[in-house]
C-alpha cells in the first residue's frame, strides 16, 4: 500500500484538516529533521506531514537538513511525497497565487550536501534523474487541477537557487536563458535525495511573487506571505482531491 507524505514549504507549516494520530520526534543518522513527524488522517487517507522550514518557519532554505528529512520519511515507510514549494515566477504570464507542476529542474545550489551515496560505499552509485519528478504522481495532480478548472501550469523548469537572498535581475535573465520558468530555493537537493531513496516525488510550486526584475515592485516578505495565502488555498483544494486517489 502507498504511504504518502507531504512536505510543506513556506505558507504551509501545518495541515488544517488533518486528524493527527501520532507525533514523533525522529532522529536520523544525518541529524535532526526539520521538525516533529506528524501522522494523521487527511481526506480519509493516512498521511505524514513534515514542515520543511520547521513548525515556526525558522529554518532557512540553505540550512534545511534535507537528508534527515528524506531519511526519516523513508524510514517511516513513505514511498510517495508531494512537496509544496514557494517560488518566484520567471515567465511573464505567471501570476502570484498560481500553481505550477514542474517537470524539470536545474540545480544552482552551491553549499548543500546533496547525496546519500558518499561514504562507506561498496561501489559508486549514480541514480537516473532524466525525469526528476514522478510521472504518475504528476499526472494525478494535473488531472485534479484540470478537473477543478484551476489556474495552473502543467509543466515548467524549476531553478533551484542557493538563497537565502533573492536573485538579481540579471541572474533571473540568465535562468530564463537556461530555460527556467520558476525559481525557488528548496527544490534541490530534495528531489534528488527522494530519487536516491526510490521515493515517488512530485512538486506543487506556488508562485509567491514575480521574480526579480520582472516587476517594478520590491519583493518583500509581506508580499510573499500575502500572495501565498491565495496559492496555499488552491494547494489545499488540490490536496483534498488528489490524496484520495493515491
Assess 192 for contact with ligand HPA (CB under 6 A). Answer: no
> Among 166, 204, 205, 239, which residue interacts with ligand HPA (rule: CB under 6 A)?
166
Answer for which of 47, 50, 183, 194 binds ligand HPA (CB under 6 A) is 183
Regarding 144 and contact with ligand HPA (CB under 6 A), the answer is: no
Q: How far, CA to CA in Å, does 29 sit from each of 24, 32, 69, 142?
A: 16, 9, 11, 35
Taking the C-alpha atoms of residue 205 and residue 88, their distance in angstroms, rounded to an integer, is 9
Instruction: Between 69 and 186, name the residue whose CB sits nearer to ligand HPA.
Output: 186
* Spatial distance between the Cα atoms of 182 and 154, rounded to a whole number of angstroms: 13
Nearer to ligand HPA, 20 or 169 (CB): 169
Distance CA 106, CA 70 (A): 20
Q: What are phi and psi of 90, to 5 degrees?
A: -90, -45
> What gap in Å lies between CA 141 and CA 243, rounded to an integer?
9
Q: Does 107 bind ligand HPA (CB under 6 A)?
A: no
Query: Which among 91-99, 106-114, 181-189, 230-238 is the span making contact with ligand HPA, rule CB under 6 A?
Result: 181-189
When the beta carbons of 89 and 132 are compared against ligand HPA, the nearer one is 89
Biggest CA–CA distance in the chain, Å, is 54
Q: Is 98 in the site for ligand HPA (CB under 6 A)?
A: no
Binding-site ranges for ligand HPA (CB under 6 A): 86-88, 161, 166-167, 183-185, 208-209, 211, 224
Amino acid at each position: 500500500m502507498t504511504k504518502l507524505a507531504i512536505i510543506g514549504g513556506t505558507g504551509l507549516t501545518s495541515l488544517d484538516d488533518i486528524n493527527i494520530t501520532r507525533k514523533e520526534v525522529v532522529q536520523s543518522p544525518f541529524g535532526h529533521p526539520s521538525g516533529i513527524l506528524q501522522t494523521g488522517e487527511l481526506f480519509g487517507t493516512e498521511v505524514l506531514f513534515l514542515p520543511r522550514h520547521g513548525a515556526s518557519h525558522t529554518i532557512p532554505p540553505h540550512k534545511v537538513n534535507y537528508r534527515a528529512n528524506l531519511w526519516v520519511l523513508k524510514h517511516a515507510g513513505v514511498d510517495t511525497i508531494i512537496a509544496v514549494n514557494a517560488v518566484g515566477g520567471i515567465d511573464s504570464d505567471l501570476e502570484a497565487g498560481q500553481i505550477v507542476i514542474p517537470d524539470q529542474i536545474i540545480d544552482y545550489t552551491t553549499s548543500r550536501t546533496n547525496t546519500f551515496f558518499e561514504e562507506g560505499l561498496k561501489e559508486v552509485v549514480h541514480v537516473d534523474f532524466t525525469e526528476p519528478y514522478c510521472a504518475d504522481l504528476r499526472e494525478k495532480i494535473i488531472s485534479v487541477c484540470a478537473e477543478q478548472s484551476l489556474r495552473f501550469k502543467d509543466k515548467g523548469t524549476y531553478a533551484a537557487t542557493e538563497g537565502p537572498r533573492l536573485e538579481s535581475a540579471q541572474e533571473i535573465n540568465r535562468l530564463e536563458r537556461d530555460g527556467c520558468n520558476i525559481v525557488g530555493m528548496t527544490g534541490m537537493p530534495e528531489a534528488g535525495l527522494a530519487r536516491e531513496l526510490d521515493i515517488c516525488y512530485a512538486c506543487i510550486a506556488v508562485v509567491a511573487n514575480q521574480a526579480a526584475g520582472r516587476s517594478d515592485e520590491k519583493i518583500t516578505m509581506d508580499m510573499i506571505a500575502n500572495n501565498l495565502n491565495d496559492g496555499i488555498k488552491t494547494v489545499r483544494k488540490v490536496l483534498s482531491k488528489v490524496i484520495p486517489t493515491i
